[in-house]
Structure 1
Amino acid sequence: MTDPALSFGTAAAAYDRGRPVYPREAVAWALGERPLRVLELGAGTGKLTEVLLDLGHDVFATEPDEKMLDVLSTKLPDVRATVGTAEQIPAGDQQYDAVIAGQAFHWFDQVAALQEISRVLAPGGRLVLLWNQRDERIPWVRRLGRLIGRQEQDVDPSAVIDDSALFSAVEEQQFRFWQVVNRETIQDLVLSRSNVTVLAEEDREAKRAEVLAFYDDYGRGMDGMQLPYTCRVFRAAVLEHARPAPAPATSPILISDPVPPTPLVNPPGPPYPPRSMSDTAHRLPRVVTDGVGPGERDDGDDLILIDFR
């Protein structure tokens, strides 16, 4: 059976059409008012990426599913993006002011991911996690939830973040908004659900027809329905005393490159320290690390290898 976490690519276009956006004010609260260097994990088709760019942030998007990332790169060709996971982030130590994930943290190996996130955050950097959740206090929305699934309705990362001892106390804010759904996009919404993408074709079609009948019974037709959501936003700052010192900065090595790394020298003062090779191109090849697991260190040379498969 297909891993639900890796099944979204089969419905990437439907995901992009049918899933709600993230409220601008929610992202602004999470990141503050000044532009930041932001690493996005589980970027999907770029629903959150678009808001980050609109707010002026410098974004590096990572996503484990190439088909999802293809949609993001087509929509946002100027965004640096690569295939990568939260458990093995393709970036050097302390490069980012914020690490953000929308509708994704529940898919991660959370303990490993938090170690990696703390590694790539600059001093004072913050972790931000967002979920759009339907407001199922309303009876018809609760009925829709029974049809399409509720796997992201009961998420709260506070306990696992606190248990990691890598971050400050978690802050939460909630932002209410509405998604206008019509007869076409409600079909995209259901077809993009992980519990539906893993079904056999005839079962997916049956579920689509069931949800379409629900919409038709709702009786709004061309006017569509306003689907109420709450965007839950969690943020926490990395704790300096809780993580090991970063390895000395070195330039990355290509697999075929026999030349040893040359140390990078930080320029004096702002704006930013130098970026590694994994953060310099718009659409990058797959990035892997050389035998170093999440939260581990090798002999001090933090190598980033490029796999051109």
Structure 2
Amino acid sequence: MEPQKSLPPPRQPEGCLTAAIRIPVRIVVLVLVVPVRMVWDALVVAGRFLNDTVLRPFGRALLWVARAVFVWPLVGLWRYVVVPLGKGLGWLGTYLVVVPLVWLYRYVLTPVGHGFAWVYARVLTPIGHGVMWVTRGIGLGLYTAVAWLARYLVVVPALWVYEWILTPIGHGMLWILRGIGICLYWIARVLLVLPALALWRWVLTPVGRFLAVVGREVWDALGHAWRIAGHVSLAVGRFLGTLFRWIFVEPVRWVYRTLLTPVGHVVRDLVLRPVAEAARSVGRATRQALAAARETVRQARADFRRMLLGEPRKTVGVDRREPSGRETRTLGSSTTALTKD
């Protein structure tokens, strides 16, 4: 089953004020928006053309230049200078700093630390425990005496003052402040709140509703005008494109197809191909001459080496028990020492 399409919300009934505002607003907005939309579409087309033909190739060229000027030198510097230098410094740091420090820690500091630990555990700890026991007893006695004096000289008098003096005074001041607050509340309500409510209800709300109706109609008119201006701009653009095609593109295409293409074929067959054949012949002759020159130089170098050092010693062949790589064993031949011919 096909899904049920959601129905549009029911439109609220509109008054005569809305209808009277809508038509002139839409006419004025349409007159103002059509030129803006046509200029906007022209700028969009020009921007796309400029981006495709100028900005994008220029950006690619800048990217290539930036890579060639900055990225590749930095990569080469990092790969061939910084990395080897870092490895060398790391090797020097390992064998000049780390290894001596490890030896010092293992064979000097560790025994000294063990000695300090033994002294701390066997000497300082018992002394500290004794001092703490004595200090704890003295501190406990002082704390008990100070706590008793503070209770009966400070806490008990303060509680009496709070209960019999400060509490009645606070209740009286609270009752007075409550009465003052009630009076101020009613004064502010009568002088500020009620006039503000009346202004909001009888002045600002109607004005706001009127402005909301006007704003909604202007926004709807802008939307309709923008869409209508888009259709107008599209029609004008198609007309200008067709006119440009029949005035410029088609004549250029006709000239290219009927005049330039045959001339180009004639030039290719009568000029470019013979020139290319001649260039290939010259290239082949040049390669052959270079090969002959290289062979002559090689022979001269070999003769000069033989003149200075003599003929190279000839290697004596060794009687092998196994056949060579090109020969294979067959049933009619023997390769062992006992049956070999």
More helix by share: 2
More strand by share: 1
Q: TM-score, normalised by structure 1?
A: 0.14
Higher Rg of the two aligned structures:
2
Q: TM-score, normalised by structure 2?
A: 0.13
